[in-house]
Protein backbone atom coordinates (compact mmCIF):
# COMPACT_ATOMS: atom_id res chain seq x y z
CA UNK A 1 0.00 0.00 0.00
CA UNK A 2 3.11 2.17 0.01
CA UNK A 3 2.42 3.25 -3.57
CA UNK A 4 -1.21 4.09 -2.83
CA UNK A 5 -0.33 6.72 -0.23
CA UNK A 6 2.23 8.26 -2.59
CA UNK A 7 -0.25 8.20 -5.48
CA UNK A 8 -2.81 9.89 -3.24
CA UNK A 9 -0.32 12.67 -2.42
CA UNK A 10 0.54 13.09 -6.12
CA UNK A 11 -3.11 13.22 -7.10
CA UNK A 12 -3.80 15.75 -4.33
CA UNK A 13 -1.07 17.99 -5.70
CA UNK A 14 -2.29 17.65 -9.31
CA UNK A 15 -5.98 18.18 -8.45
CA UNK A 16 -5.11 21.28 -6.40
CA UNK A 17 -3.08 22.79 -9.25
CA UNK A 18 -5.84 21.99 -11.77
CA UNK A 19 -8.45 23.62 -9.53
CA UNK A 20 -6.32 26.72 -9.02
CA UNK A 21 -6.02 27.12 -12.78
CA UNK A 22 -9.73 26.63 -13.40
CA UNK A 23 -9.08 23.30 -15.05
CA UNK A 24 -11.69 20.64 -15.64
CA UNK A 25 -10.34 17.24 -16.61
CA UNK A 26 -6.73 16.16 -16.05
CA UNK A 27 -5.46 14.51 -19.23
CA UNK A 28 -1.84 13.77 -18.37
CA UNK A 29 0.55 13.85 -15.42
CA UNK A 30 4.31 14.09 -15.72
CA UNK A 31 6.38 12.67 -12.84
CA UNK A 32 10.04 12.24 -11.94
CA UNK A 33 10.64 9.45 -9.46
CA UNK A 34 14.04 8.72 -7.96
CA UNK A 35 15.16 5.10 -8.11
CA UNK A 36 16.16 5.19 -4.42
CA UNK A 37 12.48 5.27 -3.42
CA UNK A 38 12.07 1.69 -4.71
CA UNK A 39 8.61 2.62 -5.93
CA UNK A 40 6.88 0.23 -8.28
CA UNK A 41 6.01 2.36 -11.30
CA UNK A 42 3.12 0.18 -12.45
CA UNK A 43 1.51 0.44 -9.02
CA UNK A 44 1.77 4.25 -9.05
CA UNK A 45 0.22 4.28 -12.51
CA UNK A 46 -2.60 1.98 -11.43
CA UNK A 47 -3.51 4.00 -8.33
CA UNK A 48 -3.21 7.35 -10.08
CA UNK A 49 -5.52 6.17 -12.85
CA UNK A 50 -8.01 4.93 -10.26
CA UNK A 51 -7.89 8.16 -8.23
CA UNK A 52 -8.21 10.28 -11.37
CA UNK A 53 -11.18 8.25 -12.59
CA UNK A 54 -12.93 8.71 -9.26
CA UNK A 55 -12.51 12.50 -9.62
CA UNK A 56 -13.81 12.68 -13.19
CA UNK A 57 -10.50 12.40 -15.04
CA UNK A 58 -10.82 8.89 -16.45
CA UNK A 59 -8.14 7.86 -18.93
CA UNK A 60 -5.40 10.07 -17.50
CA UNK A 61 -2.01 9.46 -19.04
CA UNK A 62 0.80 9.02 -16.48
CA UNK A 63 4.31 9.71 -17.77
CA UNK A 64 7.09 8.67 -15.42
CA UNK A 65 10.77 9.48 -15.80
CA UNK A 66 13.07 7.54 -13.50
CA UNK A 67 15.83 9.64 -12.00
CA UNK A 68 18.78 8.67 -9.81
CA UNK A 69 17.93 10.41 -6.56
CA UNK A 70 15.29 10.37 -3.84
CA UNK A 71 12.79 12.81 -5.32
CA UNK A 72 9.12 12.14 -6.03
CA UNK A 73 8.47 15.14 -8.22
CA UNK A 74 5.16 16.16 -9.72
CA UNK A 75 6.56 18.01 -12.73
CA UNK A 76 3.43 19.13 -14.56
CA UNK A 77 -0.12 18.26 -15.50
CA UNK A 78 -1.99 18.67 -18.74
CA UNK A 79 -5.45 19.96 -17.91
CA UNK A 80 -8.53 20.62 -20.01
CA UNK A 81 -9.85 24.12 -19.46
CA UNK A 82 -13.49 24.94 -20.26
CA UNK A 83 -14.62 27.70 -22.62
CA UNK A 84 -11.23 29.29 -22.85
CA UNK A 85 -11.44 32.84 -24.22
CA UNK A 86 -8.87 33.66 -26.84
CA UNK A 87 -5.63 34.53 -25.10
CA UNK A 88 -4.90 37.32 -27.59
CA UNK A 89 -7.97 39.23 -26.39
CA UNK A 90 -7.44 38.56 -22.71
CA UNK A 91 -4.25 40.51 -22.41
CA UNK A 92 -3.20 39.13 -19.04
CA UNK A 93 -2.21 36.00 -17.25
CA UNK A 94 -0.39 34.69 -20.22
CA UNK A 95 2.38 32.25 -19.45
CA UNK B 1 -9.45 32.08 -13.43
CA UNK B 2 -6.04 32.26 -15.06
CA UNK B 3 -5.86 32.20 -18.82
CA UNK B 4 -3.54 30.13 -20.90
CA UNK B 5 -2.96 29.32 -24.47
CA UNK B 6 -4.52 25.94 -25.13
CA UNK B 7 -2.85 23.30 -27.27
CA UNK B 8 -4.46 21.39 -30.12
CA UNK B 9 -6.03 19.01 -27.56
CA UNK B 10 -7.89 21.91 -25.91
CA UNK B 11 -5.79 21.68 -22.79
CA UNK B 12 -2.99 23.49 -21.02
CA UNK B 13 0.20 22.26 -19.39
CA UNK B 14 0.42 23.43 -15.79
CA UNK B 15 3.94 23.44 -14.30
CA UNK B 16 3.75 22.12 -10.74
CA UNK B 17 7.32 21.23 -9.79
CA UNK B 18 6.43 19.92 -6.35
CA UNK B 19 8.76 17.34 -4.79
CA UNK B 20 6.81 15.27 -2.28
CA UNK B 21 9.94 13.89 -0.63
CA UNK B 22 11.32 17.40 -0.18
CA UNK B 23 8.02 18.46 1.41
CA UNK B 24 8.17 15.51 3.82
CA UNK B 25 11.80 16.34 4.63
CA UNK B 26 10.71 19.90 5.48
CA UNK B 27 8.04 18.53 7.77
CA UNK B 28 10.58 16.19 9.40
CA UNK B 29 12.76 19.23 10.00
CA UNK B 30 9.81 21.02 11.62
CA UNK B 31 9.31 18.03 13.92
CA UNK B 32 13.02 18.06 14.79
CA UNK B 33 12.69 21.76 15.64
CA UNK B 34 9.54 21.09 17.71
CA UNK B 35 11.42 18.53 19.83
CA UNK B 36 14.55 20.68 20.07
CA UNK B 37 12.67 23.74 21.32
CA UNK B 38 11.16 21.70 24.14
CA UNK B 39 14.39 19.80 24.90
CA UNK B 40 12.62 16.52 24.12
CA UNK B 41 14.55 13.49 22.93
CA UNK B 42 12.49 11.51 20.40
CA UNK B 43 13.00 8.00 19.02
CA UNK B 44 11.37 5.99 16.24
CA UNK B 45 10.83 2.33 17.09
CA UNK B 46 10.43 0.36 13.86
CA UNK B 47 10.23 -3.31 12.88
CA UNK B 48 7.97 -6.08 11.64
CA UNK B 49 4.53 -6.91 12.90
CA UNK B 50 5.11 -8.93 16.08
CA UNK B 51 8.81 -8.14 16.44
CA UNK B 52 8.22 -6.68 19.92
CA UNK B 53 8.12 -2.91 19.34
CA UNK B 54 5.30 -2.32 21.80
CA UNK B 55 6.89 -4.65 24.40
CA UNK B 56 10.20 -2.79 24.12
CA UNK B 57 8.46 0.57 24.47
CA UNK B 58 6.41 -0.64 27.44
CA UNK B 59 9.58 -1.96 29.15
CA UNK B 60 11.47 1.29 28.49
CA UNK B 61 8.59 3.46 29.69
CA UNK B 62 8.33 1.40 32.87
CA UNK B 63 12.01 2.02 33.63
CA UNK B 64 12.03 5.71 32.68
CA UNK B 65 8.75 7.07 33.98
CA UNK B 66 9.98 7.55 37.57
CA UNK B 67 12.57 10.12 36.49
CA UNK B 68 11.28 11.31 33.13
CA UNK B 69 8.17 12.67 31.46
CA UNK B 70 7.61 10.12 28.70
CA UNK B 71 5.03 10.17 25.90
CA UNK B 72 4.31 7.46 23.35
CA UNK B 73 2.88 7.93 19.88
CA UNK B 74 1.75 4.54 18.57
CA UNK B 75 1.11 4.14 14.86
CA UNK B 76 -1.06 1.31 13.54
CA UNK B 77 -3.30 0.75 10.57
CA UNK B 78 -6.26 0.30 12.91
CA UNK B 79 -7.26 -0.26 16.58
CA UNK B 80 -5.86 1.12 19.85
CA UNK B 81 -4.44 -2.14 21.25
CA UNK B 82 -0.85 -0.89 21.29
CA UNK B 83 -1.72 2.34 23.06
CA UNK B 84 -3.66 0.34 25.65
CA UNK B 85 -0.66 -1.92 26.28
CA UNK B 86 1.57 1.04 27.08
CA UNK B 87 -0.99 2.91 29.17
CA UNK B 88 -0.44 2.09 32.80
CA UNK B 89 3.35 1.82 32.46
CA UNK B 90 3.70 5.40 33.65
CA UNK B 91 3.72 7.39 30.42
CA UNK B 92 2.38 10.93 30.79
CA UNK B 93 0.58 10.68 27.47
CA UNK B 94 -0.13 7.83 25.03
CA UNK B 95 -1.48 8.75 21.61
CA UNK B 96 -2.65 6.35 18.93
CA UNK B 97 -2.31 7.28 15.27
CA UNK B 98 -4.45 5.12 12.96
CA UNK B 99 -3.00 5.40 9.49
CA UNK B 100 -6.13 3.91 7.91
CA UNK B 101 -4.23 1.72 5.48
CA UNK B 102 -0.95 3.55 5.16
CA UNK B 103 1.95 1.16 5.70
CA UNK B 104 4.29 3.60 7.43
CA UNK B 105 4.31 6.76 9.50
CA UNK B 106 5.55 9.93 7.87
CA UNK B 107 6.57 13.32 9.22
CA UNK B 108 3.12 14.76 8.48
CA UNK B 109 1.28 12.18 10.62
CA UNK B 110 3.77 12.62 13.45
CA UNK B 111 3.46 16.40 13.23
CA UNK B 112 -0.31 16.17 13.64
CA UNK B 113 0.18 13.96 16.71
CA UNK B 114 2.63 16.43 18.28
CA UNK B 115 -0.16 19.00 18.55
CA UNK B 116 -1.90 16.68 21.00
CA UNK B 117 1.07 16.27 23.35
CA UNK B 118 1.18 18.26 26.60
CA UNK B 119 3.06 21.55 26.26
CA UNK B 120 5.27 20.86 29.28
CA UNK B 121 6.57 18.07 31.48
CA UNK B 122 7.88 15.85 28.68
CA UNK B 123 11.47 15.03 27.92
CA UNK B 124 11.24 11.72 26.01
CA UNK B 125 8.93 10.67 23.16
CA UNK B 126 8.82 7.19 21.65
CA UNK B 127 7.15 6.92 18.26
CA UNK B 128 6.10 3.39 17.38
CA UNK B 129 6.08 2.98 13.62
CA UNK B 130 3.62 0.78 11.70
CA UNK B 131 4.69 -2.89 11.77
CA UNK B 132 6.58 -3.16 8.51
CA UNK B 133 10.23 -3.74 7.64
CA UNK B 134 10.14 -2.03 4.28
CA UNK B 135 8.17 1.19 3.83
CA UNK B 136 9.12 3.04 7.06
CA UNK B 137 12.77 2.91 5.94
CA UNK B 138 12.14 5.58 3.34
CA UNK B 139 10.43 8.18 5.54
CA UNK B 140 12.18 10.20 8.19
CA UNK B 141 10.04 11.41 11.05
CA UNK B 142 12.31 14.10 12.45
CA UNK B 143 13.41 12.13 15.50
CA UNK B 144 16.86 11.71 17.01
CA UNK B 145 17.37 8.02 16.25
CA UNK B 146 15.64 4.93 14.95
CA UNK B 147 15.68 1.61 16.78
CA UNK B 148 14.97 -1.37 14.52
CA UNK B 149 13.44 -4.23 16.49
CA UNK B 150 13.87 -7.64 14.94
CA UNK B 151 12.87 -10.90 16.58
CA UNK B 152 14.46 -14.34 16.48
CA UNK B 153 11.18 -15.71 15.13
CA UNK B 154 11.65 -13.76 11.89
CA UNK B 155 14.38 -16.17 10.80
CA UNK B 156 18.13 -16.08 10.38
CA UNK B 157 18.34 -13.78 7.36
CA UNK B 158 15.83 -11.04 8.08
CA UNK B 159 18.55 -8.36 8.22
CA UNK B 160 20.19 -9.30 4.92
CA UNK B 161 16.75 -9.46 3.29
CA UNK B 162 15.73 -5.97 4.39
CA UNK B 163 18.84 -3.82 3.99
CA UNK B 164 16.98 -0.49 3.71
CA UNK B 165 15.53 -0.73 7.21
CA UNK B 166 18.89 -1.53 8.78
CA UNK B 167 20.63 1.15 6.73
CA UNK B 168 18.18 3.67 8.16
CA UNK B 169 18.45 2.43 11.77
CA UNK B 170 20.82 3.66 14.48
CA UNK B 171 20.45 0.71 16.84
CA UNK B 172 19.13 -2.84 16.52
CA UNK B 173 17.30 -4.69 19.27
CA UNK B 174 17.49 -8.42 18.54
CA UNK B 175 14.42 -9.52 20.45
CA UNK B 176 12.83 -12.77 21.66
CA UNK B 177 16.26 -14.28 22.26
CA UNK B 178 14.61 -16.79 24.60
CA UNK B 179 12.89 -18.57 21.71
CA UNK B 180 15.79 -18.56 19.24
CA UNK B 181 16.70 -22.16 19.90
CA UNK B 182 13.10 -23.33 19.66
CA UNK B 183 12.73 -21.75 16.20
CA UNK B 184 16.13 -22.99 15.06
CA UNK B 185 17.82 -19.60 14.74
CA UNK B 186 21.46 -19.02 15.62
CA UNK B 187 21.50 -15.40 16.84
CA UNK B 188 25.08 -15.00 15.61
CA UNK B 189 23.77 -15.13 12.02
CA UNK B 190 21.63 -11.92 12.03
CA UNK B 191 24.42 -10.23 14.00
CA UNK B 192 26.93 -11.26 11.34
CA UNK B 193 24.65 -9.93 8.61
CA UNK B 194 24.26 -6.62 10.40
CA UNK B 195 28.03 -6.34 10.78
CA UNK B 196 28.43 -6.90 7.03
CA UNK B 197 25.78 -4.25 6.25
CA UNK B 198 26.64 -1.70 8.95
CA UNK B 199 30.12 -2.38 10.34
CA UNK B 200 30.36 -1.47 14.01
CA UNK B 201 26.65 -0.84 14.48
CA UNK B 202 25.35 -1.64 17.95
CA UNK B 203 23.03 -4.60 18.40
CA UNK B 204 21.46 -5.49 21.75
CA UNK B 205 19.98 -8.92 22.44
CA UNK B 206 16.69 -8.49 24.26
CA UNK B 207 13.78 -10.36 25.77
CA UNK B 208 11.32 -7.54 26.28
CA UNK B 209 8.95 -9.74 28.28
CA UNK B 210 11.51 -10.68 30.97
CA UNK B 211 13.29 -7.33 30.61
CA UNK B 212 16.64 -8.80 29.52
CA UNK B 213 18.69 -6.27 27.55
CA UNK B 214 16.26 -3.35 28.01
CA UNK B 215 18.68 -1.42 30.24
CA UNK B 216 21.36 -1.87 27.58
CA UNK B 217 19.03 -0.42 24.94
CA UNK B 218 18.42 2.58 27.19
CA UNK B 219 22.16 2.99 27.71
CA UNK B 220 22.82 2.78 23.97
CA UNK B 221 20.24 5.55 23.41
CA UNK B 222 21.80 7.65 26.14
CA UNK B 223 18.70 7.39 28.30
CA UNK B 224 20.19 5.60 31.29
CB-CB under 8 Å, B13 with A78 = yes
ipTM of the complex: 0.81
- A interface with B, Cβ–Cβ < 8 A, is 1-2, 4-6, 9-10, 13-14, 17-18, 20-23, 27, 34, 37-38, 70-81, 84-85, 87, 90, 92-95
Domains identified in chain B and CATH numbers: 20-220 (3.40.50.300)
| Mutation for testing the B interface, residue in A74, A82, A83, A86 having most B CBs under 10 Å | A74
The whole-number average pLDDT for the span B35-42 is 97
* B17 to chain A: closest CA residue: A75
With contact defined as beta carbons under 8 Å apart, do B124 and B149 qualify?
no
- The answer to whether residue B208 scores a pLDDT higher than 90 is yes
pLDDT digits (tens, 9 = 90+) for B144-166: 999 999 999 999 999 999 999 99
Distance from the B56 Cα atom to the nearest Cα atom in chain A, whole angstroms? 26
- Say whether residue B8 is in contact with chain A using an 8 A CB cutoff: no
Q: What is the pLDDT of residues A32-63, one digit of tens each?
A: 999 888 788 999 999 999 999 999 999 999 99
pLDDT digits (tens, 9 = 90+) for B86-137: 888 899 999 998 887 788 899 999 999 999 999 899 999 999 999 999 889 8
Q: Which pLDDT score is estimated for A83?
A: 65
Q: Does the structure show a pLDDT above 50 at B1?
A: no
CB pairs under 8 A between A and B: 103
CA-to-CA separations, B152 to A70, B120, B185, B201, in angstroms, rounded: 32, 39, 6, 18
pLDDT at residue A3 above 90? no
- CA triple B43-B45-B49, angle to 5 deg: 165
pTM of the model as a whole: 0.82
Residues from chain A that touch B10, judged by Cβ atoms under 8 A, are 80-81, 84
Ramachandran sector of residue B79 (left: φ over 0; alpha: ψ -120 to 50; beta: rest) = left
Nearest by CB: A73 against B7, B18, B104: B18
Which domains are seen in chain A, by residue range?
2-81 (3.30.2320.50)
What region does A91 belong to: left with phi over 0, alpha with psi -120 to 50, or beta?
left
Minimal CA–CA distance to B202: which of B171, B175, B162, B176? B171
The model's confidence at residue B3, banded by pLDDT at 50, 70 and 90, is low
B4: pLDDT strictly greater than 70: no
Using a CB-CB cut-off of 8 Å, the residues of chain A touching B6 are 81, 84
Amino acid sequence: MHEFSIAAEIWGSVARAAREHGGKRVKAIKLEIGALNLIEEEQIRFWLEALAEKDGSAGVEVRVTTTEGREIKVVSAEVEVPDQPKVDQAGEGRE
Amino acid sequence: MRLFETNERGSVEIQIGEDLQARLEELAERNREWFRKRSIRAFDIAGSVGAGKTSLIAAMVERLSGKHGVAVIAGDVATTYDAERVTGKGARKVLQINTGGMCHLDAKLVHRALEHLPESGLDIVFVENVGNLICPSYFSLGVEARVAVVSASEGSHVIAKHPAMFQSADLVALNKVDIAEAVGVDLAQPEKELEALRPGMRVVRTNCVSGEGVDEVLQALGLA
